[in-house]
Amino acid sequence: MSKTKKSPNTGKGKKALIRNISILFLSIVLLVSGVGCVYADQMLGRINFVPLEDTPSKVETAPIFQEGTTSGDTSAEAGVLGGLYHDDAITNILVMGVDDYQPNDPGRSDSMMLVSVDSRHKKLKLTSFMRDMYVAIPGHGSQRLNVAYSTGGPQLSVSTIEANFGTDIDRFVLIDYASFSKIVDKLGGVTMTITSGEAKLINQNSGDPRRNLTAGTFLLSGKQALYYSRIRAIGDDFERTERQRKVFSSIVEKFKTASIGTINQALYDILPLVTTNMTKNEVLNMAANALTYLNYPVSQNRIPANNEYTSQRIMMGGSPADVLVPDLDKCEKNVADFIFENDLPSKTYQGN
């Protein structure tokens, strides 16, 4: 029973971390939009853009942020496209956080967060996909969901989620955890109030050579802030996600109070740490509407939900592994109901 409860929460805090990073990405492109078109183009040129022709999935033919659908127009069509739920007024962006990895090892998508910019219902919706779900990876048999990234990169991750959960994904954004540390450092650190227990763990495990933290308020480096956000030894996942919200709030405050020069320099350094298959025009279009999007109420979801999986031990690679086996019918319905609400045609679910 303990394993059943523990499994869906493993990495839950990391999902919240990449959720925060995804919102930070929206904030970044908003700032870019305010520094002038020519300079914005130069800054956007620093993002690692993956050409759409190099992303062999349905996203190639799914234009996003079309005129008339990004500012609240609800006349766009909602329905089923290519067997996947789709709504022209909702843009689904898969934000992936890649865990630490060795040279020549692409790593695995430790966090997978679908950010739905919903101009129909005027909401920002965040759906976490648990990395330990045992699913079919197109062309590669069944494995944990996060193996899709190490096998075929972000494109295969997108295809795997689409194939198993029935919702159209328009684009992806990729950020590794090392980049999070760099983002914090480029902003000059974040000011946090920490306990003696948290200070001790950060001193021992963050990798920062400065080990002088005690209980109190300190300016944390990127490594210190990242480890603080991922502390597991104190409290539960609720406390861990609270730490992450505090870090994110501190980052937001840094942006609010920073000078234009500081912001521009931070963007110059940060943007190369972001990889996406959005086009420059799509990012600029998002930037033009980012203030609206960031003021949308945020709602959250997790796949699978508590009653949508079973915990099993199976053999993978010659060794036993604990996985979550999702009820795909229930999960697909969950995703569709959460993202598209009542605006899709009815569909019969085998699990009902």
Q: What is the pLDDT of residues 21-50, one digit of tens each?
A: 565 666 655 555 555 555 677 778 888 888
257, 287, 312 - which closes a domain: 257
pLDDT class of 168 with cuts at 50, 70, 90 = very high
The DSSP element (H or E) to which 183 belongs, if any, is: helix 177-186
Q: How many helices (H) and strands (E) does the chain have?
A: 11, 15
Domain assignment present for residue 11? The answer is yes
Could you say which of 257, 290, 305 is where a domain stops? 257
91 inside domain: yes
**CATH number of the domain enclosing 237:** 3.40.630
Q: Is 171 in the same domain as 139?
A: yes
Looking at the chain, the whole-number percentage of residues with pLDDT higher than 70 is 68
Contact 48, 276 (CB under 8 A): yes
For the chain, how many structural domains are there in total? 2
Look at residue 9 and tell me if it is in a domain. yes
pLDDT grade, residue 159 (50/70/90)?
Answer: very high
Looking at the structure, tell me whether residues 137 and 210 fall in a common domain: no
Cβ atoms of residues 106 and 149 within 8 Å: yes
Please check whether residues 26 and 174 belong to one and the same domain.
Answer: yes
Residue 166 binned pLDDT confidence (cut-offs 50, 70, 90): very high
- CB contact at 8 A, 3 and 311: yes
pLDDT at 243: 74
Do 283 and 173 contact (CB within 8 A), yes or no? no
CA 337 to CA 331: how far, in whole Å? 10
How confident is the model over 230-274, as pLDDT tens digits?
Answer: 787 886 444 665 676 677 667 766 765 667 677 677 777 778 878
Name which of 136, 178, 154, 164 is nearest 54 in CA terms: 154
Q: Are 154 and 10 in a shared domain?
A: yes
Asked if 290 and 219 sit in the same domain, the reply is: no
Of 226, 257, 288, the position where a domain reaches its end is: 257
Banded model confidence at residue 3, pLDDT cuts 50, 70, 90? very low
Q: Which residue has the higher pLDDT, 117 or 41?
A: 117
The strand pairing partners of 90, in sequence order, are: 118
Q: CA-CA distance, 218 to 204, in Å (whole number)?
A: 16
311 in any annotated domain: yes
Q: What burial letters (b/e) apply to 130-149, b meaning 16+ CB within 10 Å?
A: bbbbbbebbeeeebbbbbbb
Q: How many CB atoms lie within 10 A of CB 122?
A: 13
Quick check: helix, strand or coil at residue 207? Answer: coil
Q: Which domain holds residue 202?
A: 191-257
Element (H, E) at 199: helix 196-205
